[in-house]
Amino acid sequence: MQSFNSKLQNIGDSIFSVMSQLANGQKALNFSQGFPEFNPPQQLIEFVNRAMVNGFNQYAPMPGYKKLLESVAEKERIIHNNNLDADMEITITPGATAALFATIQALVNPHDEVIVLDPSYDSYDPAIRLAGGRPVHIPYDIQNLEFPWEELELKISAKTKMIILTTPHNPLGLCFTREDFECLAKITEKYQTIILSDEVYEHMVFDGKKHVSVLGIESLKYRAVKISSFGKTLHTTGWKLGYLAANKILTAEIRKIYQFLAFSTNSAMQIGVAEFLDANPNWELGLSDFYQSKRDYFFNKIQNPKIKGTPSSGSYFQMLKIDHGFEMSDYKFAVELTKSRKIACIPLDVFIQDQPQTNWFRFCFAKNDDTLKQAADIISNL
Ligand code: PMP
Ligand code: GLN
């Protein structure tokens, strides 16, 4: 066989594939890969089905169907007060992953540095490397759940092309505030750093907080890209439908790449989602309460002095620190837990560049209450 230089040396299957496969093989509760246990609304399925029957089975326009673009623009205006041009500033993509990839390939040039905050979502680093860029990883203060402002100021330079943020954060659940964004704007102003803001959990923020989008920050929006995912918002992770939003100049540049990455996104689903959002104008507004009650149910049911954590502020992930007393990587412990206690979670070390043992684990609470109870019982008895 012809030998070749791997473009992504040392990269194997993603932790989400690995843990879900293990959970299935072990017949364990799967609290690892982030996806809801429940179905999307029946009406949404019917609308997609109707779109197929009505002939939406061929290529959609490259940026997306006008109906969905306008619906997203309307939502952005009503929910976040973001005024976006539906035709020129929003692009529908096959999930947030493709939006992230297209954005990074379009805006990062060889030798550019891109700051990534660890723990970081697994697709960021490889996408930067494939663009020829250099990921610069900065760790959050995990014990105190604090953003590493000082280190960011030290590491940012004229070489820094972009900073990738995740808010609400996966896996920590932290949410960027307006003050945080304003602080970021000050730090990045000198170098005009692009802010890529991954906001796929934007509609899941708890305890009365309100999501703040990068596009709502006057001093950042002209050099920012926001990414969202209908997979999270509509309980349809398997449909792979998302969008990116940015000003006309950035959007035009990103679309140049996107047209050769996917060209366009599933047509019937775009129509079905647009009709569903029109018929249910308050859908997103109910999601935070829905997930907050799941978080509370799960978190409050766990009674175990060896387990520590603070309730997640956003996303459908809860971090728990398990003081298990072994010197063993988080990954190894998560595998053991899946095999011996029949519950799968995501170890934190795999989200951090040097993979230190942290004893922190991520649990996805997008589950039915009886599944949450079973999981809480297992965790309480560890
Ligand atoms: N960003 C973050 C932070 C995520 O957690 C995920 C995973 N769901 C994605 C991006 C990818 O989203 P999608 O499934 O829409 O590609
Ligand atoms: N975003 C999901 C998570 O964090 C998983 C996505 C995937 O499986 N690639 O669990």
- The yes-or-no verdict on residue 2 having pLDDT over 70 is no
Kindly indicate the confidence band of residue 249, based on its pLDDT and cuts at 50, 70 and 90. very high
Residue 51, phi then psi, degrees to nearest 5: -60, -40
Testing ligand 1's pocket by substitution, the residue of 229, 317, 346, 364 carrying the most ligand atoms inside 8 A of its CB is 229
Q: Where are the beta strands (DSSP E) in the chain?
A: 29-30, 90-93, 113-118, 134-139, 160-166, 194-198, 224-229, 242-246, 307-308, 317-322, 343-344, 346-347, 360-364
CA dist 17 and 33 (Å) reads: 8
Question: pLDDT tens-digit profile of 342-354?
Answer: 999 999 999 999 8
Strands 346-347, 360-364: pairing is antiparallel
Domain boundaries, the chain: 8-382
pLDDT of residue 354: 87
Q: For the residues 36-60, what does the mean pLDDT come to?
A: 98
Q: Kindly report, residue by residue over 132-143, the tens digit of the pLDDT.
A: 999 999 999 998
Q: Output the ligand 1 site: residues, CB below 6 A.
A: 34, 95-97, 121, 166, 170, 198, 200, 229, 231, 237, 240, 242
* Ligand 1 atom at shortest distance from the alpha carbon of 231: 15
Please tell me the number of the ligand nearest to residue 117's CA.
1
Tokens of 17: 């594939």
Q: What percent of the chain has pLDDT over 90?
A: 95
How many Å lie between the centroid of ligand 1 and the Cα of residue 134?
22
Q: Which of 17, 31, 33 to mutate to test the pocket of ligand 2 (most atoms within 8 A of CB)?
A: 33
Query: For 83-140, what is each residue's pLDDT tens digit?
Result: 999 999 999 999 999 999 999 999 999 999 999 999 999 999 999 999 999 999 999 9
CA of 189 to the centre of ligand 2 (A): 32
Tell me the best of 19, 35, 350 to mutate to test the pocket of ligand 2, counting ligand atoms within 8 Å of each CB and taking the most: 35
Indicate which atom in ligand 1 lies nearest the CA of residue 241.
15
pLDDT digits (tens, 9 = 90+) for 290-327: 999 999 999 999 999 999 999 999 999 999 999 999 99
pLDDT at 143: 86
Q: Is the dihedral of CA 121, 346, 199, 96 positive or negative?
A: positive
The pair phi, psi for residue 290, each rounded to 5°, is -55, -50
- Residue that is written with structure tokens 């205006």 in the block: 77
CB 136 within 8 A of CB 162: no
Amino acid symbol at 352: I
Nearest residue (by CA) to ligand 1, atom 5, is 170
Q: Looking at residues 177-201, what average pLDDT do you find?
A: 98
CB burial class (10 A; 0-12, 13-18, 19+) of residue 269? buried
For 304, the token pair is 């175990």
Give me the phi and psi of 374, to 5 degrees please. -60, -45
Q: Look up tokens 């949450």; give the residue.
A: 372
Ligand (nearest to CA of 198): 1
CATH value of 8-382 in 3.40.50.150, 3.40.640.10, 3.10.100.10, 3.20.20.120: 3.40.640.10
DSSP assignment of 276-289 equals HHHH-TTTGGGHHH
Neighbours of 57 (CB within 10 A): 11
Note whether 112 and 134 are within 8 A (CB).
yes
3-state class percentages of the chain: helix first, strand second, coil last, to nearest 5: 45, 15, 40
* pLDDT (tens digit per residue) in 322-340: 999 999 999 999 999 999 9
Instruction: Measure the N-to-C terminal CA separation of the chain; round to a whole number of Å.
Output: 48
> How many angstroms separate the alpha carbon of residue 158 from the centre of ligand 2?
32
The mean pLDDT value for 178-207 works out to 98
